[in-house]
């Protein structure tokens, strides 16, 4: 049941699809969610415990809980790191980072654009 719930949040995750096939989980048991983040917390722990930067964290609680980049920290720390992208089983972080970058640095003032 846990795999089925996780698949509702990240239906295109290759790792979750493999596990669902291995354990016979029903991919269509729960209604699909649009977040694609399964709230595993791997990115939060990696950034806090390994990198010691705390650029990714939990926002809100309960059903509204989300993982987000902290723009003030991510602007300087994440631009060259992005190691958490590989840890994320759903690729949610890449989309979240692009969104954070575009909101924090509109137009061509982003650190990525400034490095060109």
Q: For the domain that residue 53 is a member of, what is the CATH number?
A: 3.30.70
Dump pLDDT digits (tens) for 99-113.
Answer: 777 776 665 555 554
Cα distances (angstroms) measured from residue 98 to each of 42, 70, 84, 87, 110? 19, 13, 14, 17, 11
**Does residue 6 share a domain with residue 26?**
yes
**Does residue 79 share a domain with residue 109?**
yes
**Does residue 74 share a domain with residue 21?**
no
Quote the pLDDT of residue 114. 43
The model scores a pTM over 0.75 = no
**Does residue 102 share a domain with residue 70?**
yes
On the CB side of 115, CA atoms within 13 Å amount to 7
Dump pLDDT digits (tens) for 18-59.
Answer: 999 999 998 778 776 656 788 889 999 999 999 999 999 999
Total domains present in the chain: 2
Give the residue numbers spanning the domain of 6. 1-34
**Does residue 67 share a domain with residue 22?**
no
Residue 68 pairs in a beta bridge with: 57
Cα distances (angstroms) measured from residue 16 to each of 9, 10, 30, 47, 116? 10, 8, 14, 23, 37
Interatomic CA distance for residues 9 and 67, integer angstroms: 13
């Amino acid at each position: 049941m846990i795999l089925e719930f996780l698949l509702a949040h990240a239906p295109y995750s290759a790792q979750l699809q493999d596990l669902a096939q291995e354990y016979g989980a029903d991919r269509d048991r729960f209604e699909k969610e649009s977040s694609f983040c399964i709230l595993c917390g791997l990115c939060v722990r990696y950034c806090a415990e390994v990198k010691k930067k705390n650029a990714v964290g939990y926002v809100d609680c309960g059903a509204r809980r989300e993982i987000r980049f902290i723009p003030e920290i991510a602007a300087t720390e994440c631009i060259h790191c992005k190691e958490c992208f590989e840890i994320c089983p759903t690729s949610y972080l890449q989309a979240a980072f692009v969104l954070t970058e575009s909101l924090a640095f509109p137009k061509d003032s982003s650190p990525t654009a400034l490095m060109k």
